[in-house]
Amino acid sequence: MGLHALLALSVVYLATPVASFSKPWASCSRPGTVDWRRAVTTIRAEADSSAAALSRDPEIAGGALADATFGLQVAVAVLEGLRAHTSAERPLNLLEHTFDAATGLVSPGVWHNAVTGYAAIQAARALELTARDTTDQAAKGECAALAGKYRAWARDIGASLHAHNFVANQGFRRRPVGAAGGAWASAFDPAVRQQLLAAGEDPSFYEPSAVRRGGANAMAVLLNSFLAEEFPDDAEVAAQFSDAALAFTRQFFDPACGRFRAVAVGDQGVGDQPEEWRAVDQAVGALACARLAKAAGPRRGFEARAMAAAGAQSLLEQFGYGPCAEGEGGGGVANHFPPRRTDSEVDADDRPDRTSWADGWACLAIVVTEACSGRESARVLVCHTHTHP
């Protein structure tokens, strides 16, 4: 289990109290219902014994965080684990190092850094609440200090991504040459490539790339929207948010069909390569635009709200999530083909290219944007996708 997978898990735990995880599944009396607390405890134990283990600092689950929620303990353990896997030597190892102190980045790419920055902000907010509620003065001070560290870290990530990956009016490039200030080794180096192959990794996932991906750019917008809330008087943060939002809405939303592109115009490739439409891009794009609408206010946010609604509606109609939200008892429409990850031709006898990762983002976007109509239910949608893998 990699640290990035646990990072995503920590974000979910920070956003939702542990006790509430059982509620969405309470009405789904079907085999396979997940005991989330037990599952996360198991994952946490497995990660602690792996090479990419969580921080081994015994104070993570005690001391200042002794009275913190289980979710906050998991999140802090993951974030500290990321920061612990670093080195003073350059270049950093692509397989072993997940933090560059000079830039605050956890990789040369955009997606993982943006998610990390968002998780750091949510952790800072949760730590401040813990500091407010505890009567232990020492713990209060430690929680406040850790919150300040995470807030500053998130700002560093936002600034570094803008400096190394962003092109004005074009968006964030995936892993451009020199990303993260050249902190990590290059996958084009023969020795590094051999190391990746020996570890069973695909070197193409680490190679420099100037391609602008829709999901990653949407996540960068989300990060910058939260940074703008945390640093309301910071002109640099405000400019970064404005730049990211403008580039995203111009480069990735197609008004002709009301969808978010997987790749920016001009980066799809050569020849007659068809446009690829992915559920996760609609989902994260809708979430990003919902944040833009909130930041712009009720009058100026009309365009962003329309984009968010279009992305969510696309998930319901073109990607098959609508019928999964219909019916009684969490069953969805009888014999309906499951939702699909990409909107492309699929043989009737084959299962679609579908992942729980895409399902999770899609359900979140549909719920957040309140896209379900009178015949559809958010509860039914979540139950159906959960019990029909």
Q: Measuring CA to CA, how many Å separate 367 from each of 215, 282, 364? A: 18, 13, 5
Sign of the four-CA dihedral 352, 355, 360, 362:
negative
pLDDT of 349 strictly over 70: no
pLDDT single digits (tens) 279-302:
899 999 999 999 999 998 776 788
* pLDDT level of residue 158 (50, 70, 90 thresholds): very high
Over residues 348-356, the mean pLDDT reads 56
Give residue 136's pLDDT band: very low, low, confident or very high (50, 70, 90). confident
pLDDT, one tens digit per residue, over 184-242 is 999 999 999 999 999 999 999 899 999 999 999 999 999 999 999 999 999 999 999 99
* Residue 358 pLDDT exceeds 90: no
Confidence band, pLDDT 50/70/90 cuts, at residue 379: low
Lowest mean pLDDT among 47-61, 99-113, 148-162, 299-313: 47-61
Sign of the alpha-carbon dihedral angle for 320, 205, 84, 55: positive
Amino acid 268: pLDDT:
65
Distances (CA, A) of 93 to 54, 63, 81: 18, 32, 16
pLDDT of residue 342: 64
For the cut 50, the answer to whether the pLDDT of residue 31 exceeds it is: no
Tokens 């965080």, located at residue = 65
Q: Are 213 and 175 in contact (CB under 8 A)?
A: no
Distance from the Cα of residue 347 to its chain's centroid? 31
pLDDT of residue 67: 66
Q: What is the pLDDT of residues 104-119, one digit of tens each?
A: 999 999 999 999 999 9
The predicted pLDDT at position 3 comes to 44
Eight-state DSSP code of residue 92: B
Confidence of residue 360 (pLDDT cuts 50, 70, 90): confident
Give the pLDDT band of residue 341 (cuts 50, 70, 90). Answer: low
- Quick check: 10 pLDDT over 80? no
Whether the link from the prior residue into 298 is cis, omega within 30° of 0, is no
CB proximity list for 275: less than 8 A, separation 6 or greater: 261, 262, 268
What average pLDDT does the segment 298-317 reach? 88
Mean pLDDT of 345-374: 72
d(CA 94, CA 79): 18
Mean confidence (pLDDT) of the chain: 78
69-105 residue pLDDT tens:
777 888 888 899 899 999 999 999 999 999 999 999 9
pLDDT of residue 383: 67
The number of residues making up the chain comes to 389
Q: Where are the beta strands (DSSP E) in 132-244?
A: 166-167, 171-172
| pLDDT band per the 50, 70, 90 thresholds, residue 276 | confident
Closest of 360, 226, 222, 362 to residue 304, by C-alpha: 222
What does the pLDDT average to over 373-377?
67
